[in-house]
Structure 1
Amino acid sequence: MAFDAARGFWRTVNSTYGITRLVSFGKEPTAVPLDLVSQLMLRCDAKGKLLPPKLLKPGDQVTLTKGPFANFVAEVEKIAPDRRVWVLMELMGGQTRVAVGADQLRSI
C-alpha cells in the first residue's frame, strides 16, 4: 500500500510504536531518495536490521560508488584520520593513487 501524505494520515504514523518520526523538512513529510534507501538496505541483515558499517583496512578490495570513477574496483592503500581513504586503481595500464571519502566506497 502506498503512503499518501496529502491525505493527512501521516501524523498517526509518528505516534506508531517503533517509529521516531517521519522524515520531513518543515511541517510535511518528505520522500527519501531511492538511492539512499537502496544503500541502507544493502547494509541490512536478512531480518532487515541495519548493520554497522564495515571498517576498511589496507589491502581491502572496494568499489567506488560515486563520482567519475563510480563502479571502478580499487584496493585500499591507506586510511587517514579524517576518514579520507587512499586507494590504488588500475587505469590505462598503470596503478593510480586516488583519495576519496570513506562514504564513497563499498567493500567487495
Structure 2
Amino acid sequence: MVKDETMDKILKIIGISTIILGFVAGMIAGSQDTYTPSKYLPGEFIKKEGIQWSVTLMWWAGGVISGVLFYACGIALSYLKMIVKYLRNIHDMYGNILKNK
C-alpha cells in the first residue's frame, strides 16, 4: 500500500509524464500518412503526407489537459497534507488546555 506522504508526488509525476507522453504521441499520430477516399475516382484513395496538425493538436490538448488535472490533484494533496500537519500542531499545543477547562 502506498503511503499518504508519497501520493501527492506520484500524482505530480503522473501529470508531468502524461504531458510529455501526450506531446510524443501527438507527434507520432500526426506524422502518420493518412488515406482519404478520392472524390473523382471511386475506390481509389489519396495519400496525404506530412504532419496532420488537427490530429497532433488534439493529442497535445488531451495530454496537457489530463496532465494538468493530475498535477493539480497532486498540489491539492500537498496543501491538504500541510493543513493537517498545521492543525495537528495546534491540537498538540492547545488540546490539553481545552481539556482542562
Q: TM-score, with normalisation over the residues of structure 1?
A: 0.20
Structure index of larger Rg = 2
Q: Which has the higher relative contact order, 1 or 2, with Cα contacts under 8 A spaced 6 or more apart? A: 2
Structure (1 or 2) with the greater strand fraction = 1
- Of Structure 1 and Structure 2, which has the larger fraction of its residues in helix? 2
